[in-house]
Amino acid sequence: MIVAAFPGQGSQTPGFLIPWLESADARERLERYSEAAGVDLVAAGTEWDADQIRDTSVAQPLIVAASILAWQQLSDAERARFGGVAGHSVGEIAALIAANVISDIDGMRLVGARGRAMAEAAALAETGMSAVVGGKEPEVLEAIAAAGVSPANFNGGGQIVAAGALDGLAALAENPPRGVRVIPLQVAGAFHTAYMSSAGDALQAAVDDICLVQDPALPLWTNSDGSVVTSGSRALELIVHQVQNPVRWDLCMESFAEAGITGLVEFTPAGALTGLAKRGLRGTPAVALKTPDDLAAMGDLLAETAH
């Protein structure tokens, strides 16, 4: 069984969408996504610089649009060979679209609202996030708590992301547990913590505006607790829940292993989740779809391990 994995914020780089827009259909689709999300995603994915696409209100719809453009490059037969989907943080909206829980246009409206709401919440206080790499988890969590910040992402493979006030993150970096590295991340706020509480109402309103919600057409793992969600309405409840609660990608990878997955494909903009899989799913083949040139490697993986 191959899992389709959709990345979260921070994976984007300037110009990364250029090779995906060589077909007229892809460009026209991205223009429709731009209208739905309220962001010029064509310019963002081809022309804007790193600072411009780091803006939360831009980055989130840009990443989801990129993932779905890549997903739609696959044939029906190729998509049918995936045994399930999962998304990290905002990537979970791409997973909902891939699983036919919501349409691509409704998904882009939703992620546009999510990005704006979280950007507004982040502007209320000077906060940030830092990757905490290495060490024993109990000691890392103790150090995070002692610094007055919170664990926001349990990424597996020895990585936890801490989030909170900048002075707390600085204190954590100054006094890390033995053998631990603390790496500041280029994000605008303390996502997946209580600092995002004000984003909840706007996100719920966006969810309430979705008219057609279906149950997942294939297994959908939630990064709330790593379980498989079988109800479309429950999946959308968890989309609202996740903005101020930790991402449990570690539990998703544990569930993948328990399900006996034979491979993982990370959709555009790819790299982060395949990196985590190397440590959290040792020995499991993984392909990162960074450009259309990587579709051949994905096809080989599907042919070798899907059945």
Catalytic residue annotation = 89, 192
Concatenated DSSP letters of 269-283: SPSHHHHHHHHHSTT
Quick check: 102 and 212 in contact, CB under 8 A? yes
Q: What's the distance, CA 64 to chain centroid?
A: 8
CA dihedral 232, 235, 240, 246 (to 10 degrees): 180
Residue environment code for 258-271, b if the CB has 16+ CB neighbours within 10 A, otherwise e:
eeebbbbbbbbbbe
Q: Which residue has the tokens 């605008």?
A: 188
Concatenated DSSP letters of 243-264: TTS-EEHHHHHHHHHHHT--EE
Q: Tell me how far apart the terminal alpha carbons of the chain are, to the nearest angstrom.
A: 7
CB atoms within 10 A of CB 135: 18
Single-letter residue type at 236: L
Alpha helices by DSSP H, 192-248: 199-208, 232-242
Quick check: 97 and 74 in contact, CB under 8 A? no
Q: Which residue has the tokens 């919170």?
A: 150
